[in-house]
Chain A
């Protein structure tokens, strides 16, 4: 059982940021174990991405550029990864807790009858076992989780681990492998993809500006969008705003929406119901902008401005514009 494996997720040939976060964690663990970090890179642009993986700390890369793997599909990806893991017996497999990462880790765990711990926010090595900290009960509690047997499979929450420093001179050994499944053995066919362009994925965003019922209507999101543009932030929303049809569900933050960990979360006209809190418990700094001093959001915010968001948000916009640029 040797080697810390990190799956490098890509879509359209571009790697997901969370993969580098996983690689940073892999590097740290492998260092402590005296083992190698091996990047698993499949699909479009895999050889190029393997080079970036070396720069982020991978020692080796197992690469498969087969056309069946161009975009993530569960069957060919899981079958290949399970086959490789069966052959090489890694100590651990790490992936991002993205939609694809969760699917892949789940299927591979079944194939290998291995324990899977999803959505880690911290991982420590204790006597050769990975002790994972992860939020449970909608983020109300923290569990320390361990899995017996090997490999230990872990997915990590976006932005919980730092992206490692890049060393452009670092190189490594590439091991090309063949795909296991042929196209006719794969049931899933991707018929189309409508990329969410124009805004940064909510889960990746360092800053999120979010609006609730207090914005009053779809047009109420305009000043928030302007602030988000100035800050390079992503736009979030409460369920009340989504249910009212003011903004698409992609933006919903909370228990039945996305769980995010931005550095700054600006909640505008959001009361901060427990279900909303469930999505932002790992945010670093929460700022509440609300007319109601008694709103529950005040209990979890670091800073609050009690006032009308339609005055405060444009003022924030102006103040940041002056400073940032």
Chain B
């Protein structure tokens, strides 16, 4: 059995929130913040491993704003044992280089971590880089895009997973401790239970600052977004192709498509 699994989870605006750029700044007004959807799969996988007796404790870490984190609350409500919030004004607008440094440094505070689980990507920055960067910083086996954990053997110190790549499904083995990032295919996240929700309001979240985890000034964000804009406005609704029969409509559509430039090569 591995002693501790760490899950890294981020708070993001709800997927249905209307996100807009106003004067170059991203806003979603008062749309709710939620746990990044991919990270629900990460939490679920950690809980499943714990329930199978393959891990003892599940600790969730989130870096974010100081007044609490929906990601942590949700993870506790699902059943995670412990939550840590890393919050510090110096970390605002961190790019993945800095985020990965912070999360790696937070993970190093524990000596008994066997596995760190990440979501595939955060739906705000959409980068999908943090897991591999944390893994690299820790020097651990890093297995991304995991669709299935086939074996987790603490005694042997090995993990075997199925990964989903463009070219197909790969079976890959690595050593423990390891970092993995998970896909939606891996499980079906549970809904928080009533008891869980109550526990989430009662559980104290530890708050760590940059100093607490001994962050040096050496690592800084390198990537900035000087400008964020809305998508070019779509030229109105679809052109509805009319006709008496399906065949007639289709004929018209195909004519139009064949005339589209730069499509048929």
Contact = CB atoms under 8 A, between A and B. Distances in A.
Contacts of A188: 141, 143, 172-174
- Main secondary structure, interface of B, reads mixed
B175 interface: yes
A138 B219 CA distance: 28
A197 B169 CA distance: 11
Given A136-B228, A141-B26, A144-B227, A102 B171 contact: no
Contacts of A195: 167-168
Which size class do B's interface residues fall under?
A: 35 or more
A309 to B, nearest CB: 10
A122 interface: no
Interface residues of A, number: 91
Contacts of B219: 113
A149 B133 CA distance: 18
A139 to B, nearest CB: 8
Scoring B19, B185, B249 by chain A CB atoms within 10 A of each residue's CB, the highest score goes to B249
Given A114-B222, A188-B173, A305-B249, A201 B258 contact: no
B16 interface: yes
A110 B239 CA distance: 48
Given A103-B142, A140-B19, 14 more contacts: A99-B163, A109-B133, A111-B136, A141-B230, A145-B224, A145-B225, A146-B223, A147-B222, A187-B175, A189-B173, A249-B147, A249-B164, A319-B250, A319-B251
Q: What 5 A-B pairs are tightest by C-beta distance, nearest first?
A: A115-B222, A301-B238, A106-B132, A304-B238, A192-B171
Interface of A: 11-12, 16, 74, 78, 98-100, 102-103, 105-107, 109-111, 113-119, 134-149, 187-197, 201, 203-204, 206, 249-250, 252, 255-257, 263-264, 274-275, 278, 281, 284-288, 293, 298-308, 311-312, 315-316, 318-320, 323
Interface of B: 13, 15-16, 19-21, 26, 37-38, 95-97, 100, 123-129, 132-133, 135-137, 141-145, 147, 160, 163-175, 183-185, 219, 222-231, 234, 237-241, 246-247, 249-251, 253-254, 256-258, 260, 262-263, 265
